[in-house]
Amino acid sequence: MPAEPYAMPLRVRYVECDMQGRVFNAHYLTWVDMAHTEALAAVVGDYEALVAGGTDVVVAAANLQFRRPAVYGDQLTVLVSFKPPGTTSLQSSFTIAREDTVLAECLMTHVCVDTATYHKQPWPDWIRDRLNSASGWR
């Protein structure tokens, strides 16, 4: 049975809204990054500990669909689901919603890298195992 998606609450900041009165597109990617880091921490532990252990993650690709605008003061939820990890990669899907209204969706591809060289490396076994257990692709 697939795991429940991780949910990160978020309130839209004034500084994130542009002259159109809506959130500027790049900030969705910041939110996705925040939610990914939180969801990953929930599965494999704090980011700082991960890095201290020699493992880091970098973004390889992002695919965003913008459905409806987020506006100032919106209380949003970012839902995160992990796909079963590849040898060195991890795909994840994100839904940014205001209550039942989907505002944006995103697919991300991250790659596991060595902290010293930033060259890609296989996920450590214990991380891959936990990511597998936590995966629940929607």
CB of 72 to its own copies, least distance (A): 7
CB of 84 to its own copies, least distance (A): 22
Q: Residue 135 to residues 23, 44, 59, 62, 74: CA-CA distances in angstroms?
A: 30, 12, 18, 19, 29
> Does residue 114 bind its own copies (CB under 8 A)?
no
Structure tokens given for 113:
């890298």
27 vs 98, beta carbon nearer its own copies: 27
**Residues in region 30-89 near its own copies by CB under 8 A:** 30, 33-34, 37, 46-48, 56, 58-66, 69, 72-73
Confirm if 26 and 88 have CB atoms less than 8 A apart: no
Q: Give the span between the Cα atoms of 138 and 133, in whole angstroms.
A: 15
The footprint of its own copies (CB under 8 A) covers 13-15, 17-21, 24-27, 29-30, 33-34, 37, 46-48, 56, 58-66, 69, 72-73, 118
